[in-house]
Structure 1
Amino acid sequence: IPQAAVLTRVTRAAVIEVTNEDFVRTARAKGLSRRRALWRHTVPNALLPVVTMLGLQIPFLISGAVLVENVFSLPGIGTLAYQALSQRDLVVVQNVVLLFVAIVLLVNAGTDALYARLDPRLRGRT
């Protein structure tokens, strides 16, 4: 829930910031309705900070699974990691950590790919 609040706050701030930009004001002055200007110009340009925050929050939420699964006695990768750690099963701990690292790398790669899709200025860069 706290992560959702942070994401909502960033989204709101980004939309307000982009709404005050000149190109949105120009679109409104040319006769575009408020709703159409919002979805056509504001939202696509406000998505970059939202994607950034989401990319940072997903690994945090995945690592929080260890705590949530143990508090509520749920079976899962978090419980496996905790049990392996408490039993000093090094091989399982290494594999779970490797899995978490792979997930974080995939999320970062997905965030970068989404950035390139949302911002045409980044499409030519590698």
Structure 2
Amino acid sequence: ARAGAWPDRLLMAATLVGSSLAGFWVALLGMELFAVRLHWLPLMGAGDWRHYVLPASVLALLPTALILRMTRAGLCEILDQDYIRTARAKGLPPWRIMTRHALRNAMVPVVTVAGLNLGGLISGAVVTETVFDWPGIGRLLVDAVRYRDYPVIQGVTLLSVLGVLVINLLAELAIMRLDPRQRGH
């Protein structure tokens, strides 16, 4: 969709709402709508795949909204560049221009932000696990703090730091693959 067209405006409004809402509130709203009123998903528990849909959706909402907004902003900026006009003038098909030229260059800042946001999923997991009454690493950390279990606090912190480091390393490797200019840095 073109910038400013109704699908673009609708997507931007949805991502603005998605990035503005607190995870706790979205979880409660999702539970009320999809579990209590519509009976599409189970309210709590852990069994089949349906038990994971609501918590995973709540956890993914904020990062997905931010990544969509950044991707759109990057694409809008890149699609006005001279090399895109040159590719169009050469007669390249629009899908090739989008995938080979525009999207590849727009993804560099998006991958950086995505790497940072994935590290933030750990804090989101605490809220999600609490609301959905799930045992998990976030809940383990909260209980360890409550009962002053320092070895568990240190272990979860170390695991979280290692997870963030690995995610950021993978993001840097992806950036080097997307942008050859970054390989020398």
TM-score band, normalised by the shorter chain?
over 0.9
Q: 2:132 aligns with which of 72, 75, 82?
A: 72
Which residue of structure 2 lines up, in the alignment, with residue 13 of structure 1?
A: 73
TM-score between both structures, scaled by the size of structure 2: 0.65
- 1:37 shift after superposition: 1.1
State the superposition RMSD in angstroms. Answer: 1.1
Identity %: 47
| 1:40 partner amino acid | R
**Where does structure 1 differ by over 2 angstroms across 4 or more consecutive aligned residues?**
none
Q: Which runs of 5+ in 1 are unaligned?
A: none
Q: What SS does the corresponding residue of 1:64 show, helix, strand or coil?
A: helix
Which residue of structure 1 lines up, in the alignment, with residue 107 of structure 2?
A: 47
**Partners in 1 of 2:123 and 2:89 — Cα distance?**
47
- 1:50 shift after superposition: 1.1
Alignment of 1:1-126 (within 5 A): 1-125=61-185
- 1:63 shift after superposition: 2.1
Q: Which runs of 5+ in 2 are unaligned?
A: 1-60
**Partners in 1 of 2:74 and 2:133 — Cα distance?**
38
**Partners in 2 of 1:36 and 1:58 — Cα distance?**
29
TM-score between both structures, scaled by the size of structure 1: 0.93
Count of residues in correspondence between the two structures: 125
**Partners in 2 of 1:64 and 1:37 — Cα distance?**
36
| 1:107 partner amino acid | I
* Residue pair 1:63, 1:100 contacting (<8 A) in 2 also: no
